[in-house]
Copies of this chain bind each other. A is one copy, B any other.
Amino acid sequence: MVNVQESPKVKREVLEVSSEIMSEAGQFLRRNGFIEILPVIISPITDPLNHSVLDASINYYDGQYSLTKSMIFHKQLAVRVFPKIFTFSPNIRLETEDKKSTGRHLIEFTQLDLEVKDAKRDDILTLVENLFVEVFKDLDKKFGKIIRSTNPHFSIPKIPFERVRYLEALEKYGSDFEAILSKQATEPFWLIDIPIEEREFYDRLDGDGKVLADMDLIYPYGFGEAISGGEREHEYEKILYRMSLKGNDQKSLKWYLDEVKKGIPPSAGCGIGIERLTRFVCNLRHVSEARLFAKVPGSLSI
């Protein structure tokens, strides 16, 4: 028997907010010199992620295409052609059903995925902070009254956002620090310098050899993780070393490694979950209320 998930009722106003987020975020990036590239849904290579999900691949002629878990590798290749790119990238991550009640997991979601050639992590932090301010100002102007009727906390975020070092937070609050800090907070904040064992091989290792030049953005009021990103490894030998630490299979990333050998530029970037941002703005219980045709882990839905 197939476990069938009824589509939750999505409010018209929530769809309007989501649409406006995409419009304003895209236009903000264009004003800042970015171009939009088309998303990639199937490829012989995809993000190995730092946690395991069920396989999502299809056969084509004598080969195999994986469904995109994130566009990380394609973004690294795209900045060879244009230095500032973004895309609204639909990602498939076949999460297991234990993730169905986290409030923030869907097996299909859309990331506003951006990458900047030669950028440092701090450039991305500043860019995203300004993007948030512009998007929230725009939402306030167009939908402020409606949003405040269901979200009493709605406000323009104050920049710069606070920066919290991962290891310091871990020491102070224990392993549940992210949830604790998210609940205490009233403003979004950055979690930076995430240790090597918590992230994928492609986040750039910082000078000390233990933490990465990367970050998560965490929403306040318990809404949790919003964004992941960082500087990227771009040198062949370092990438091989980092893959070996993680146990990533070189064969499955051969297409990527061949391109790295030809040369890819240093870059930094991040992915912003559109459904999670919509959920945060509209103060929704579950991210499935933030889009039409939401797919909750563990069951099939339309």
Contact = CB atoms under 8 A, between A and B. Distances in A.
A244 to B, nearest CB: 23
A35 interface: yes
Which range contains the number of A residues in contact with the other chain?
35 or more
A58 to B, nearest CB: 5
Nearest to A14: B81
A41 B61 contact: no
Interface string A103-134: 00001101000000000000000000000000
A179 interface: no
A3 to B, nearest CB: 6
Q: Which 6 A-B pairs have the closest CB atoms?
A: A19-B35, A63-B300, A2-B63, A19-B36, A41-B90, A38-B110
Contacts of A63: 2-3, 300
Given A54-B60, A60-B94, A61-B97, A30 B38 contact: no
A32 B271 CA distance: 29
A48 interface: no
B37 A292 contact: yes
Given A37-B19, A38-B292, A107-B60, A12 B81 contact: yes
A206 interface: no
Contact of A90 (B16, B39, B58, B302): B39
Given A63-B2, A67-B58, A74-B293, A22 B36 contact: yes
A135 to B, nearest CB: 14
Contacts of A3: 61-63
A263 to B, nearest CB: 15
Interface in A226-246: none
Interface in A207-223: none
Interface string A252-282: 0001100100000000000000110000000
